[in-house]
Amino acid sequence: MKVLPKKIDVGLVEGVAPHPKDAAVVKALAAANRKLGGSGPSIIGFKNEDGVIYRYGTITGMAQEMYLSDKLEDLGFEDESIDDRKMPKGVWNTFVPVKR
């Protein structure tokens, strides 16, 4: 399991290939951040087709997380926390492309 640095830069992870739908992922994240917040920032990881986190983003609250989850499901991603998968240290949740 990869341990994150103490300061996480939101954005692309250098040297990791982004998911082909990354532009839509960024759009969904931006739209989620316009929803009502309600808590401190939570770091979200986004995995590429190889199962590697290629992007980090933040959300602030359950409404934002639910909105983001719905939009990402439409894009073919699933919420890894549903299966009680262990998240990398410092990451609240990760979304991974659904394996078909």
4 domain-assigned: no
Which pLDDT belongs to residue 5? Answer: 45
Structure tokens at 12: 């692309």
Q: Is residue 97 part of a domain?
A: no
The total domain count for the chain is 1
Q: What is the mean pLDDT of each run of 10 residues along the chain (100 residues)?
A: 52 94 94 86 92 92 91 93 67 84
Residue 70 domain-assigned?
yes
Domain-embedded: residue 8: no
Instruction: Indicate whether 2 belongs to any domain.
Output: no
Domain that holds residue 67: 14-92
Determine the pLDDT at residue 88: 67
d(CA 18, CA 5): 20
Residue 42's pLDDT is 87
Long-range contacts of 41-45 (CB under 8 A, 24+ apart): 42/92, 42/93, 43/8, 43/10, 43/90, 43/91, 43/92, 44/68, 44/91, 44/92, 44/93, 44/94, 44/95, 45/87, 45/88, 45/91, 45/93, 45/94, 45/95
Asked, for residue 71, whether it belongs to a domain, the answer is yes
- Residue 99 located in a structural domain: no
* Structure-token pair, residue 45: 């990881």
Q: Contact at 8 Å (CB) between 18 and 45?
A: no
